[in-house]
Amino acid sequence: MARYEGAFLEALKGIDAGGGARAKLKRYARIYADVLRDNRMCLCGMLASDYATLPKAMKEAVKHFFDENEHWLSAVLEAGRSSGELQFKGSALEAARVIVGSLEGAMMLARSYGEPARFDAAAERLIASF
C-alpha cells in the first residue's frame, strides 16, 4: 500500500508541474482512467469496499491515501476558485470529497460494464461542473 500511495503521490507532483486548475483536474481523472484501461482498479478503493474486515494498520493506510488525495484536490480547487477558473459552492474539501467519491464510483461501474468510456463520460461531466 505504501508503494501504491507513493506512486500516486508522485503522479500528483507531476500534475502540479504546470497548467491551470481545470487541466490538473483532468490529469487527475486520467490517472484513474489509465488504471481502468489497464484492467485494474484503485487499490485503496478496492480495500475501502471491504473496510470493516481490514486490520487497523490497513484501515489507517486507506484513510491516509484518501486524505492525501483530498488535501491535494482541495489545494487545486481553492487555487482554481481564487483565479476565477473554477466555480463551486461550499468548501474546497467538500468538493474534493465529491471528486474522489465520484471517480472511485465511476471506476467501479465502468469496470462492471466493461466500458471505460462510461468512466470518461462521468469524469468529463464531473470536471465540467466546476
At residue 102, the pLDDT reads 96
Write out pLDDT tens, residues 13-44: 999 998 999 999 999 999 999 988 887 776 66
Q: How many helices, marked H, and strands, marked E, lie in the chain? A: 6, 0
At residue 37, the pLDDT reads 87
- Whether this prediction's pTM lies above 0.85 is answered by yes
At residue 81, the pLDDT reads 98
- Please state, for a pLDDT cut of 70, what percent of the chain lies above it: 95
Tell me how far apart the alpha carbons of residues 84 and 54 are, in angstroms, rounded to a whole number: 42
- Domains belonging to the chain, first-starting first, are 2-128 (1.10.357.10)
Tell me how far apart the alpha carbons of residues 75 and 64 are, in angstroms, rounded to a whole number: 17
